Structure 1
Amino acid sequence: MGHIARKRFGQHFLADSAVIDAIVAAIAPRPGEALVEIGPGLGAMTQPLLERCGRLTVIELDRDLAAKLRRDARLDVVEADVLTVDFAALAERAGGKLRVVGNLPYNISSPILFHLLPVAERVLDQTFMLQKEVVARMAASPGGKDYGRLSVMLQWRYDIESLLDVPPEAFDPPPRVDSAVVRMQPLPQVAGVDAALLGEIVTVAFSQRRKLLRHTLGRWLEARGASGDFDLQRRAEEVPVAEYLALVARIASHTAAPK
């Protein structure tokens, strides 16, 4: 398309046809599904997706690329920063749950994931190309070096599966990191979990991850009179997601209880 990748948009265009075929096969789009692609770029995935689903919504910030994409009448082009897009409204307009896909800009991949988190109930699944290191953190188990705030905040709402690794040479221009494709399927919402409170607790817990929780989360809990029997003689990365959720529910019930 004669387009030069723009560094400020974090553009690295997928160019390996075998990788593209593998990703599209993993997505397995079908006609009638409400498919949304973030960052279609030069359309490497867009065209094979269209061949299977017939119609597609794409979100593209680069106005030159957006203009070229509009030439295809099968595309509903949203020219915007993805962090400003109302995905709940897209789902409402589509009349069903969204399937969200894309080769995400690596410089804002985590903000995009957190932007989508509040609308997980409006999403069927998400399949993204991300930096391999980020995917490892998303899917990490407690006790490992990759397990952290991102792991907890995503795993409480999604089943996360790393599908395939993608080398730098699959892109033009090649990024300086390895990439991976991840599938995220929303889980049923856990009753009694305040997402904002969970976010606050997890942020405090991992603020000094080398220290025992009694030095960080323990002080936070004590200030709220909610220390209880939560084991604070551990580090944040040793606590399973379920225990963070149970702590949030307990604090919420303690706060709501009559004094």
Structure 2
Amino acid sequence: MAKLKSNKRNNASSASSPYAKAQATTNNVFKFSKDFGQHILKNPGVAQAIVDKAYLKPSDTGTGEVNYLVPIFSAADLSATRSYKSNITFLVLEVGPGTGNLTARILEKAKKVIAVELDPRMAAEVTKRFQTTALRNNLQILLGDVIKTELPPFDVCISNTPYQISSPLVFKLLSLPNPPRISVLMFQREFALRLTARPGDSLYCRLSVNAQFWAKITHIMKVGKNNFKPPPKVESSVVRIEPKMGSERPSVSWDEWDGMLRICFVRRSRTMRASWLGSKEILSMVERNYRVFCAMNNIALDDSVIGEEEEDEMEVDGGADEWNGIEEGDEMDDDTPAFFKEEAEKTARENGGKTKSKKKKTRVAELVREKIRKVLEDVTELADKRAGKCDENDFLRLLAAFNDEGIHFA
């Protein structure tokens, strides 16, 4: 039988038709942004496992009054907003809903989902996905940066977290006055391992101490890169964070605790003596804090000059290289205080990484230095111990001893 001749003209016309273009657009709605860390979770089994590990209860409720602008997504204007104020039931906060694959699983169990999305395109996409379903009234989209947004009350946080906000998100959740009872979060695997690292581990850092001091951290499961679209360059893990509540919650100032740890972990492999007494920047900062404390408590200080420090050269630390093999553009959880980084950049430009120091030596400065030495050597006996090997009790003793000497970090 003779073969039918194909109509090339018709085929070409069909390929270039508006319908074909529309179909292509549907298959590729928009290009995912690496700046926003957009790796969409496409495996429904993983999405279901994440929601299951959050232990959502249909009977759970949480109420709170909100008063902020909520974006209204429409075909005409994606930037329109309306004022919203009401007592409403909140339950789950989702960070970065993307196209809504994880959101759909959460909505099956949650009474209310608040999804915070930075990308307006994604926010419009997830809104469109549910606007014709019965679940549309259970979903609210907040357009903005979750780190900078004032969040309404919520009970549970679930997130396929963009890598670059991993550390800020954890710290924000833990420092909330009323933290969520459970957070189930997906992170880059190495970051997740830092959350659960113990003293002496290679990944043990300020993040490890803070997270485990304020919450119980559990590694739930590993997630391969092929479960995402587009696939990231690194593997991921899901962790569950359960903040300590009630009598278990430490009665310690978050700012005091974290401020002290920042100094301890400037270089976690250094001894405490070197970290505290070997840096003039830290000594100056502690001296300023001590002066503020004395001023607030009407304590007189002898600020007389007792000499002048000799001009010398001092190495300035630019940042702890605690995060290796990270994907470009992803979260680098550098524990170095900002003033160290600024000083390092300045001195690197001017003196090749070295700076000269010459200042008047006062009795207050000597007093502060002696107080630090006393705490490290006499009271806690931690002077020769390294931060990477100290546990929670060591840091608690250190903070209590500093506070007893009038040295604070908030």
Per the alignment, residue 151 of structure 1 pairs with 208
Higher radius of gyration, 1 or 2: 2
Contact 2:379–2:401 at 8 Å: present in 1 too? no
- Given candidates 201, 204, 211, the residue that maps to 2:260 is 201
Per the alignment, residue 229 of structure 1 pairs with 379
Calculate the aligned-residue CA RMSD, in Å.
2.0
Partner Cα distance (2:196, 2:391) in 1: 13
Per the alignment, residue 76 of structure 1 pairs with 140
Letter in 1 for 2:212: Q
Contact 1:194–1:248 at 8 Å: present in 2 too? no
In the alignment, does 2:242 pair up with 1:215?
no
Unpaired segments of 5 or more residues in structure 1? 92-96
Partner Cα distance (2:198, 2:178) in 1: 24
Letter in 2 for 1:225: K
Per the alignment, residue 52 of structure 1 pairs with 109
Q: Give TM-score scaled by structure 2 length.
A: 0.57
Partner Cα distance (1:143, 1:229) in 2: 23
Deviates more, 1:218-227 or 1:40-49: 218-227
Unpaired segments of 5 or more residues in structure 2? 1-25, 62-90, 287-367
Letter in 1 for 2:271: L
Partner Cα distance (2:397, 2:105) in 1: 43
In the alignment, does 2:60 pair up with 1:29?
no
Higher helix share: 1
Q: Give TM-score scaled by structure 1 length.
A: 0.88
Alpha-carbon offset, residue 197 of structure 1: 2.2
Give the paired residue count. Answer: 248
Per the alignment, residue 5 of structure 1 pairs with 32
Contact 1:214–1:233 at 8 Å: present in 2 too? yes
Alpha-carbon offset, residue 137 of structure 1: 0.4
Partner Cα distance (2:140, 2:165) in 1: 23
Per the alignment, residue 155 of structure 2 pairs with 98
Per the alignment, residue 14 of structure 1 pairs with 41
Q: 1:107 to 1:86 in 2, by over 3 A?
A: same
- Given candidates 153, 164, 186, the residue that maps to 1:129 is 186
Partner Cα distance (2:223, 2:157) in 1: 19
Q: 1:102 to 1:17 in 2, by over 3 A?
A: same
**SS class of match (2:178):** helix
- Given candidates 190, 197, 200, the residue that maps to 2:250 is 190
Q: 1:4 to 1:28 in 2, by over 3 A?
A: farther
Per the alignment, residue 4 of structure 2 pairs with none
Q: 1:73 to 1:152 in 2, by over 3 A?
A: same
1:37-79 CA-partner distances (Å, limit 9, x unpaired): 1111011110011011132111011112212333333211111
Deviates more, 1:116-125 or 1:15-24: 116-125
Per the alignment, residue 232 of structure 2 pairs with 175
Per the alignment, residue 94 of structure 1 pairs with none
State the identity %: 29
1:189-234 CA-partner distances (Å, limit 9, x unpaired): 212x222222222111111222222111355586371414222211
Partner Cα distance (1:43, 1:158) in 2: 28
Letter in 1 for 2:205: G
**SS class of match (2:406):** helix
Partner Cα distance (1:176, 1:138) in 2: 20
1:139-168 CA-partner distances (Å, limit 9, x unpaired): 111011111111012111111011000010
- The one of the two structures with greater contact order (alpha-carbon pairs below 8 A, sep at least 6) is 1
Alpha-carbon offset, residue 128 of structure 1: 0.2
Letter in 2 for 1:85: T
Contact 2:205–2:388 at 8 Å: present in 1 too? yes
Partner Cα distance (2:150, 2:397) in 1: 30
Letter in 2 for 1:156: F
Alpha-carbon offset, residue 135 of structure 1: 0.7
Deviates more, 1:241-250 or 1:160-169: 241-250
